Amino acid sequence: MADFVPPSMKEQADEKVDNSNLTCPVGYEYIDIEAYNILDRGYFRSLHLNYSPAFFDGNFCISSTMAPGTYYGLSAYYLNTKLTLTGGVTTDGRLTATVKYAITDKLTVRAYTNLRNESRLSITKVSLEYMALNYRARFKLGSNDLTAATYIQRVTPCLSLGGEVFCTNVPQESGVGYAARYETDKMVASAKVISNGKVSMTYVHK
């Protein structure tokens, strides 16, 4: 019977999947980042000005964002090989701060806080991310007793698949989610489904 199987099919059956040439995908939270940026209300209307003092050797940057009729913001960044510090304030009452530290080449810890003056709300998140050759996993803790874990893996040069589990007390909710991202040099498409009924699909043509 083996003689009746075309050689090409036999070669495909015997060929082992080689993951060594697959790159690490984007983070699970950023599978639709291109569409999110384009749909942001200030993406086309805002003006960004950056300034890097020479005495910081390019590691420190001050950024000003102006979106007439919406908000004005001032941000500062400090970058080196292991540590990233980011802070920002806007005229609509938002204050944000982010710390990112690379413990090793594959393990990174992040801390994020967002304060909003008008509603007296504060959001704080701490996460630990492991990034391997062709996948990444993240465990996250946050305010309102948030606990979440995500995983995403590149299964082909263009396709990435991932999933998440989460639990929070305010609102009291828990669930699972699934996501897919397909990208080429000319387009990016993504889809995400969550057990609480939320579904999102995006497409961006470059």
- Cβ–Cβ < 8 Å for 167, 147: yes
When mean pLDDT is compared across 54-58, 110-114, 143-147, 163-167, the lowest value belongs to 54-58
Query: Is domain 22-205 classified as CATH 2.40.160.10?
Result: yes
> Which among 98, 158, 110, 114 is positioned nearest to 138, based on CA atoms?
110
In terms of average pLDDT, the best of 75-84, 113-122, 153-162 is 153-162
pLDDT at 197 over 50: yes
Query: Measured between alpha carbons, how far is residue 18 from residues 97, 133, 158 in Å?
Result: 40, 12, 15
When mean pLDDT is compared across 57-61, 114-118, 180-184, the lowest value belongs to 57-61
The pLDDT assigned to 1 comes to: 44
The pLDDT assigned to 59 comes to: 80
Give the predicted TM-score (pTM) of the model: 0.77
Taking residues 128-153, what's their average pLDDT?
Answer: 95
pLDDT at 68 over 70: no
When mean pLDDT is compared across 13-22, 64-73, 74-83, 142-151, the lowest value belongs to 13-22
The pLDDT assigned to 125 comes to: 94
- Map out the domains of the chain as residue ranges: 22-205
Pairing of strands 121-131, 83-90: unpaired
pLDDT at 116 over 70: yes
pLDDT at 196 over 60: yes
When mean pLDDT is compared across 14-18, 66-70, 128-132, 160-164, the lowest value belongs to 14-18
pLDDT-derived band of residue 2, with 50, 70 and 90 as boundaries? very low
The pLDDT assigned to 19 comes to: 66
- Cβ–Cβ < 8 Å for 146, 156: no
Residues in the chain: 206
